[in-house]
Amino acid sequence: MPGTAPKEPQRFEPEPGAPVPTTPETVGRAPRPWDAAGDPASMTDEQLSARYLLGLADDALVYAQRLGEWISRAPQIEEDMALGNVALDLVGQARTLYTRVGELDAQLLPGVQELAEDDLAYFRTEREFRNRWLVEQPRGDFAHEMVRMLWFSAHLLETLARLVRTEGADAVGVGAARKALKEVDYHRDHAAQWVIRLGDGTEESGRRTAAALAALEPFVAELSEDDPVATEAARRGLGVLPSTTAEAAIAYVAEVLRVATLERPAAGRWNAGGGRTGTHSEQLGYLLAEMQSVARAHPGASW
């Protein structure tokens, strides 16, 4: 109305005594690069374990965000619930791992006094994320998602199964892996059943599943790519070398494809790579912009 003073914008203030939150400004003005520890060979065991677990956490969080896009879009209501539950499983895994990463190396993210899970989830840029390319790719049709879940969970299950048997691995990380094993086993089985059902179903469902296999093939090899952190972690007995998971994971997927009357396409001239060292497709930037928007607009807010 004329003459009425505009209302003050609503402000969100951190609760008294809460840790000072990270903001885009404090991260951007940090006096040293994000990954200040440098060469993995020069890291302490705690720093190395933190970075190894961070890759697993980033995979889980980013894929959970993609799966969340299926809510209300799945072909039937049961799948809305199933994919939502898979996403929640992955968010739970990411939260546990992020918390442990902050405990192992509180200096991992410059400008943060007490490194918490929200700092790692909401206040890093795409170059600071360590997830594989497969999980950041845009949502396709339902066959595409089931093929992606099959490849991802097959490799992750093998990684977790080996991690729980790695004597020198971080105890909290091992505990998180042991709990996640049952969840990821369900994810793999769920995807496998759908790939078989679609591949050996109608002409159209078989065509779409074959197309999904071809579209995702360039992102498969990276799932077992040995990055510098994992290589050093495996050498010290702190983690699992990704390449050791390839044979069993590929064998599982191959059997699923056999039953589904599908063939794995031949590898092309290009394969994705470098996600564990911060190299990503442009898709991750869009995903993070949406996922992080509220936290960055109102840092330190609580509900």
pLDDT 10s digits, 9-33: 444 444 444 444 444 443 333 334 4
In a domain, 9, yes or no: no
**273-302 pLDDT tens trace:** 999 999 999 999 999 999 999 999 998 787
How many separate domains does the chain show?
Answer: 1
171: domain CATH number is 1.20.1260.10
Q: Is the pLDDT of residue 122 over 50?
A: yes
Terminal CA-to-CA distance of the chain, rounded, Å? 32
In a domain, 245, yes or no: yes
Over range 236-253, report the average pLDDT. 98
C-alpha to C-alpha distance for 58 and 135, rounded to whole angstroms: 9
Which of 138, 150, 269, 271 shows the shortest CA–CA distance to 209?
150
In a domain, 62, yes or no: yes
Contacts of 275 (CB under 8 A, 6+ apart): 130, 131, 132, 133, 136, 222
The residue range of the domain holding 47 is 43-281
C-alpha to C-alpha distance for 19 and 6, rounded to whole angstroms: 33
Q: What is the pLDDT of residue 15?
A: 47
Which of 88, 90, 79 shows the shortest CA–CA distance to 145?
79
Q: Is the pLDDT of residue 121 over 70?
A: yes
Q: What residue spans of 17-141 are helical by DSSP H?
A: 24-28, 45-68, 77-104, 117-122, 133-136
Q: What is the pLDDT of residue 249?
A: 98
Which of 140, 173, 168, 172 shows the shortest CA–CA distance to 236?
168
Mean pLDDT of the chain: 89
Over range 128-137, report the average pLDDT. 97
pLDDT band, residue 188 (cuts 50/70/90): very high
Using DSSP's 3-state secondary structure scheme, residue 23 falls into: coil
In a domain, 303, yes or no: no
In a domain, 16, yes or no: no
pLDDT band, residue 113 (cuts 50/70/90): low
Q: Is the pLDDT of residue 134 over 70?
A: yes
Contacts of 210 (CB under 8 A, 6+ apart): 199, 262, 263, 265
In a domain, 38, yes or no: no
Q: What is the pLDDT of residue 119?
A: 93
- Cβ contact 104:57 at 8 Å: no
Over range 55-80, report the average pLDDT. 96
Q: What is the pLDDT of residue 35?
A: 63
Q: What is the pLDDT of residue 215?
A: 97
Over range 43-54, report the average pLDDT. 97
In a domain, 21, yes or no: no
Q: What is the pLDDT of residue 115?
A: 85
Q: What is the pLDDT of residue 156?
A: 98
**145-175 pLDDT tens trace:** 999 999 999 999 999 999 999 999 999 999 9
Q: What is the pLDDT of residue 302?
A: 78
CA–CA distances in Å: residue 36 to residues 23, 33, 205: 19, 5, 49
Residue length of the chain:
303
Over range 212-216, report the average pLDDT. 98
Q: What is the pLDDT of residue 30?
A: 38
In a domain, 80, yes or no: yes
